[in-house]
Structure 1
Amino acid sequence: MASAGQDPFGVVFDRVISATEALIGDHRVLLLGTNNYLGLTFEESCIAAGVEALQTEGTGTTGSRIANGSYGGHSGLERRLAAFLKRRSAMVFSTGYQANLGMLAALAGPKDHLLLDADSHASIYDGAKLAGAQVTRFRHNDPEDLRRRLRHLSSQPGEKLVVVEGIYSMLGDTAPLRDFVEVKREAGAWLMVDEAHSLGVLGENGRGLAEAEGCEDGVDYVVGTFSKSLGAVGGFCASDVEDFDLLRLTSRPYMFTASLPPSVIASVTRAIEVMESQPLRRVRLQRNVRHFHSGLQAAGFSLGPVASPVASIRCPDQETAILFWNRLLAEGVYVNLALGQATPEGKPLLRTSMCAEHTPEQIDHALATITAVGQSLGMLDTFAAGTAAE
């Protein structure tokens, strides 16, 4: 990677101009890989709320929630989240990663079973390790495979918790959630859905895939993050389960981590209000998704199975992916380079994500640049030949 030029760990944005542009040195770059789906990182009211909290409550809490880290804003945000998600209870974590880590470790123990989609995020697998439960993987987005595995486990003691995601972060595909709800009900299991990439994106009100699929009542636990659509950092879990607050006493990543600073809590609280009151942001996002995805398809790139804010270009090998990524960066288009264990089946990808604030002109520029670089690398000919052979 170093011999090919830049590497993702070494890229530094010297100045972020807006939700869609930044400077690397004096080189202007179009941001096409930030997960900033609704463009709220530069929303003036969110910034103002954060600044006010920073000035009145200081830079940080310097403690965990069970020590000195519970401020009025933390409890207020939990109530606001619960109301938005139409759930009885919610709790806030310092990162989305910790939300998965903390919930899985608190909910499942050595005598229980965690059934994970094979393409689950690293935080889900790490949470399973911390839980010490027996882990069973089922084929990606395959309800029948999950059904078979639950039947196999039916005679074994312990609770069964199924974990899936709303939008999968690498290929942008969604879970067949209604089918998973049916399977978990048949088996008397529990279901957790990670809506990290679908919160604010899917559903009439932006509550995620469960809302979009009309099966929120079949989801026992919703986890997610503030670092995508809400433009900040942090994580959460929400549920209607009774005695939910007991999880605050058993979740180690919640108990032993400093709580979020008041400025982040304030900006996220305001971001939820913006997300609710400005549905046109989702409309613009979906318009941009259709524009960009159809352009990549027309150019002949091999993409994920559905059009979503995440669009990943499949590359024939790692060397081509690294070269492609470097050339795009040199041309002023920043995307994500995804290699190795981070991707399904370890296949190299160039991952992009759309933002509601991208203009049609920016998308056209990105499409033209990506297509030109792809052609120069012979990628479009390669995929055309592969498609013809199939």
Structure 2
Amino acid sequence: MDIFDKYETIASRRDSLLQAGLNPFGLRMDKILSPTEALINGRRTILVGTNNYLGLTFDPDCIEAGCEAMREQGTGTTGSRIANGSYVLHEQLEQAIARYLKCKSAIVFPTGYQANLGMIAGLAGPKDTILLDADSHASIYDGCRLSGATLIRFRHNDPADLDRRLSRLKNEDGVALVIVEGIYSMLGDIAPLNEFIEVKKRHGAFILVDEAHSLGVMGEHGRGVAEACGVEDDVDFVAGTFSKSLGAIGGFGASNHPHFDRLRYCSRPYMFTASASPASVVTVTKAIEKIEQNPDLIRKLWRNADALYEGLSSLGFEICAPASPVIAVRLADEQTAVYFWNRLVEEGVYVNLAIPPGTPNGVCLLRCSVSAAHSEAQIQEVCTRFAKILAEWQAQDTTASLRG
């Protein structure tokens, strides 16, 4: 038996996808031209699948800050902050995050994935119980497993189901930690956070909100769903990533809890990994300043999101959730989704293909993520390309339906 035999089914499925056209999970971008365009197979392509929500990846001030930090402090830290010490830049970024989120403390991690691992595995232990929204990201599930806590899933975005499950824990030892996301990355739906807060208060639980896809997106100042729902003071812990709205790499945890900094010497994913590079750290610090100084970025993002939502809806496509910067187009089956994805790339539009088992309830999706950097013309062009491919597909089979 070969060590890779266990992946045979997955490999066979991948091979079948390649037979249908390009590799949807390994597409090569020959050159990045801007936050919204790249060369793919020699064609100028509109990027509508990169999570570059505020378009800051090419911001001149962010780029210059990163270049200066690399020239002055090198390419990397070559070790963990526990062993090698913290750079002033790390502490400055943590102060910037805490200030921006109106929290007392913040901790920086090298990636958003590690932020969830470090936060969850540090906060919960074997005697505790984690109540987790069933549609949560893989990094959240992995953090739960690493913690050793008892894991209970509740129905997606269902405060009543969370309430029922918390009611059964009255005589359990340890604490209860509820984990939800702000915007769910696959479908683009938003957590009813104010209702979840009411439930957690009623049962004396703690709540962690992953604002990965809602930071810089939701709320008047972009602080996330907690700000948008008016419950920032009631959220115990916030986690997130720098790789979406902030246009870089890394992650963070933040809190007003007086003992939050204990995670620095109690959370293994923080303690035993090399710290973020100087260039990454200062780029994020500068990006936070940009959001604070230019709130119109958020308003432009939402104008584009509404325009794409209305455009695709008017064509007859089923959108999985109300308008948000993540617009998930549901298609009838995998074959249809793969066909549309390949044709869109051929027509100069890049979106994400999302198929089971990586999607909620086994749906097949074309996942679009909108940017403040998209022009009105680009949004219109994306809708025009969707319309063209839809007409072609319907002409091939007049009985075909977009819905399963």
Which TM-score tier does this pair reach, normalised by the shorter chain?
over 0.9
1:303 counterpart (308, 319, 324): 319
- Relative to 1, partners in 2 of residues 1:326 and 1:209: Cα closer, same or farther, differing over 3 Å? same
CA shift digits 1:36-84 (9 cap, x unpaired): 0000000000001001001000000011111115100001100110011
Aligned residue number for residue 82 of structure 2: 66
The alpha carbon displacement at 1:380 in A equals: 10
Segments of structure 2 that go 5 or more residues without pairing to the other structure are 1-16
| CA deviation string 1:90-118 (max 9, x = no partner) | 00000001001111111111111000001
Deviation at 1:31, TM superposition (A): 0.3
- Residue 271 (structure 2) aligned to one of 229, 249, 255: 255
1:93 aligns with 2:109: yes
Tell me the TM-score normalized by structure 1. 0.97
- Residue equivalent to 1:362: 378
Q: In the superposition, relative to structure 1, how do residues 15 and 178 fare at CA in structure 2: closer, same or farther (>3 Å)?
A: same
Match of 1:237 among 250, 253, 273: 253
Matches within 5 A, 1:154-165: 154-165=170-181
User: 2:65 matched to which residue of 1?
Assistant: 49
CA distance in 1, matches of 2:118, 2:238: 13
Task: Say if 1:60 and 1:376 are closer, same or farther in 2 by CA, change over 3 A.
Answer: same
Q: Percent identity?
A: 57
Deviations 1:122-180 (A, max 9, x none): 00000000011111000000000000000011221110000000000011110000000
Instruction: Give the secondary-structure state (helix, strand or coil) at the position aligned to 2:168.
Output: helix
What's 2:96 paired with?
80
Q: Residue 10 of structure 1 aligns to a residue in which SS?
A: coil
User: Does the 8 Å contact 1:172/1:310 carry over to 2?
Assistant: yes
2:302 pairs with 1:291:
no
Q: State whether structure 2 residue 37 is matched by structure 1 residue 29.
A: no
User: Are residues 1:278 and 2:294 paired?
Assistant: yes
State the secondary structure of the residue aligned to 1:17: strand
Read off the aligned partner of 1:256 and give its amino acid letter. Answer: F
In 2, distance between residues paired with 1:131 and 1:375?
A: 50
Using the alignment, how far apart are the partners of 2:307 and 2:386 within structure 1?
Answer: 14
Query: Is there any run of 5+ residues in structure 1 with no aligned partner, and where?
Result: none
Structure 2 counterpart of 1:143, from 159, 178, 200: 159
- C-alpha contact (below 8 Å) 1:301/1:380 kept by paired residues: no
Find out whether 1:341 has 2:357 as its counterpart: yes
- RMSD of aligned alpha carbons: 1.4
Q: Deviations over 1:179-231 (max 9, x none)?
A: 00000000000000000000000111110000010001110000000000000
Select 1:122's aligned residue among 119, 138, 145.
138
Q: Is the 8 A contact 2:318 2:403 kept in 1?
A: no
The reply on whether 1:318 has 2:334 as its aligned counterpart is: yes
Aligned partners of 2:68 and 2:283: how far apart in 1?
A: 10
The secondary structure found in structure 2 opposite 1:150 is helix
1:364 alignment partner, SS class: helix
- Map of 1:328 onto structure 2: 344
> Which residue of 267, 270, 273 corresponds with 2:283?
267
1:255, CA displacement in angstroms?
A: 0.9
Q: Counterpart of 2:322 in structure 1: which amino acid?
A: V
Q: 2:55 aligns with which of 10, 19, 39?
A: 39
* Number of aligned positions between the proteins: 386
Distance (Å, rounded) in 2 between the aligned partners of 1:136 and 1:334: 37
